[in-house]
Amino acid sequence: MKITALETLCLSRMHEPERQWITSRYRTIKADCAVVLVHTDAGITGIGEASAYGWLTKIQGWVEWLAPTLVGKDPLDPAIAPRPTGRNRPIDTAIAGIDCALWDLRGKAAGKRVSELLAPTPADRVRLYASGGCRYDWRYNPEQLIEEALGYIEQGYTAMKFRIGTEWAFDGVTVDRFLGLVRELAQAVDGRMDLALDGNCRLTEEEALPIALEIERLGFAWFEEPIDRNNIAGNARLCEAVEMPITGGEAFSSLDEFRPYIEQKAYDVLQPDAGLSGITETVRIAEMAAHYGLPVYPHSWHNGLMCMAHAQLVAAIPNIAIVELCQHQGPLQWGILAEKPQIVDGHLILPDSPGLGVELAENVAERFPHVEGHYGITVER
Ligand SMILES: [Mg+2]
């Protein structure tokens, strides 16, 4: 079998005004999706999703650039896959999309799920967490966060992650005011679902420490990227201060970038994203994490195809624990796929189909035409 061509689909969907979500200083106006297709002379096509993050056409450009290095090669040879550069987006997202598509292709060629290529007896279902908390506005109805959480419990989710809300400086939000809402949330949830907090690197160490201590007391499952990710020593001090895991790494594409965080104990859990690092590199990161006794909770903030890549990893690799499912992506998320996999009691059932287990829907490019421009607009108040 030989690779004949590479292709990138740039897909978008504008959010209805009521579905736009806001966090920090930006409002998100659309959902994007970058799908890389690897075509072969055997009539099998592999598909993989790259983390779009506003770089759709740049990802497409990098895939075109890399295509001549792959066309004519045997897709079953793992050595052909380009490795992430560690220089990050958008080149590494393009490489990740290609890598995920090659895994899908290998699975389809072997008649096996990707998880079966990775492990002899992978799981059939994997735990999801509802990743949201990006709609509550400190000026208007911050309690929306609690309504949202109760909705996830009703849908059967067993875990939820939320963010710290709109820019605190807009509305004079303090650590105390924030923790007041967090306590209300924890009380409303009442142990029916695990809770995790994502600081999105927005807090100072002085703000993050009391928050870490309080959410640990409230039984939170983890505290993600509380402070500037470049402050390795500060992250290590937070890890030291609490038993609850301090997590991070969603912006890193290569194992090498994780090294100081592993060696200096700056993260208790690693969070690579297969849409940025590819499945191959995510497995390498997980193997090194296992060597150091660390779990991996992959970062997965996009569409259903990427969710499936992470589901295959979680099903196969013991220390990769849970799949993040973005709750704000709208109909694009699963609309790109011919069939949405079953989600039962907050778990995703892996379809009994080879590769990543899913196919693209018909006419996706017509149904979700590319909308130029960034997905977020800056809000000033
Ligand atoms: Mg995050």
DSSP per residue, 317-345 = -TTB--EEEESSSTTHHHHTBSSPPPEET
Structure tokens at 358: 């899913």
Give the model's confidence band at 334: pLDDT under 50 very low, under 70 low, under 90 confident, else very high: very high
Which residues are within 8 A (CB) of 194 and not within 5 positions of it... i.e. 6 or more apart? Answer: 129, 158, 159, 160, 220, 221
For helices 232-241 and 255-263, the axis angle rounded to 10 degrees is 50
Torsions phi, psi for 349 (to 5 deg): -90, 120
CATH annotation of 3-111+364-378: 3.30.390.10
Is the whole model's pTM more than 0.85, yes or no?
yes
Residue 49 CA from chain centroid, whole number: 11
What H or E segment, with its residue span, contains residue 14? strand 3-14
How many other C-beta atoms can be found within 10 angstroms of the C-beta atom of residue 75? 25
Residues 238-279 have pLDDT tens digits of: 999 999 999 999 999 999 999 999 999 999 999 999 999 999
Between the CA of 42 and the centroid of ligand 1 the distance, in Å, is 39
**How remote is the CA of residue 240 from the centroid of ligand 1, in Å?**
20
Q: Which DSSP string do the residues of 25-63 spell out, in sequence order?
A: TEEE-EEEEEEEEEEETTS-EEEEEE--TT-HHHHHHHH
Please tell me whether residue 138 adopts helix, strand or coil conformation.
coil
Ligand 1 centroid from CA 39, angstroms: 33
Quick one: which of 48, 95, 85 has its CA closest to 252?
A: 85
Q: How far is the CA of 61 from the centre of ligand 1 (A)?
A: 27
Class of domain 116-349: alpha beta
Q: What percent of the chain has pLDDT over 70?
A: 100
Q: Distance from the CA of 250 to the center of ligand 1, in angstroms?
A: 6
Distance CA 68, CA 82 (A): 12
Compute, in angstroms, the gap from residue 162 CA to the centroid of ligand 1: 9
List pLDDT tens digits, range 94-137. Answer: 999 999 999 999 999 999 999 999 999 999 999 999 999 999 99
pLDDT in the model for residue 87: 86
Q: How far is the CA of 292 from the centre of ligand 1 (A)?
A: 22
The domains of the chain are located at 3-111+364-378, 116-349
Sign of CA dihedral 163, 328, 352, 80: negative
pLDDT of residue 330: 97
134-156 as b/e: b if 16+ CB within 10 A: bbbbbeeebeebbebbeebbeee
Q: Distance, CA 375 to ligand 1 centroid (Å)?
A: 17
Question: 301: CA distance to ligand 1 center in Å?
Answer: 9
Tokens of 226: 């509380």
Percent of the chain residues past pLDDT 90, beyond the cut: 98
299 Cα: distance to centroid of ligand 1 (angstroms): 7
Instruction: Tell me the helix, strand and coil percentages in the chain, rounded to 5.
Output: 40, 20, 40
What are 190's two structure tokens?
């009442």
Ligand 1 centroid – CA 223 distance (Å): 10
Helices first, then strands: H and E counts in the chain: 13, 15
**pLDDT digits 0-9 by tens, 17-65:** 999 999 999 999 999 999 999 999 999 999 999 999 889 999 999 999 9
CA distances from 45 to 38, 65, 101, 106 (A): 5, 19, 8, 10
Count the Cβ atoms, other than its own, within 10 Å of residue 219.
12
345 CA distance to ligand 1 middle (Å): 24
Longest pairwise C-alpha distance within the chain: 61
Q: How far is the CA of 138 from the centre of ligand 1 (A)?
A: 20
- Cβ pair 331, 13 in contact under 8 A: yes
User: 352: CA distance to ligand 1 center in Å?
Assistant: 30
106 φ/ψ angles, rounded to the nearest 5 degrees:
-65, -40
**Ligand 1: distance of its center to the CA of 7 in Å?**
29
**What average pLDDT is seen over the chain?**
97
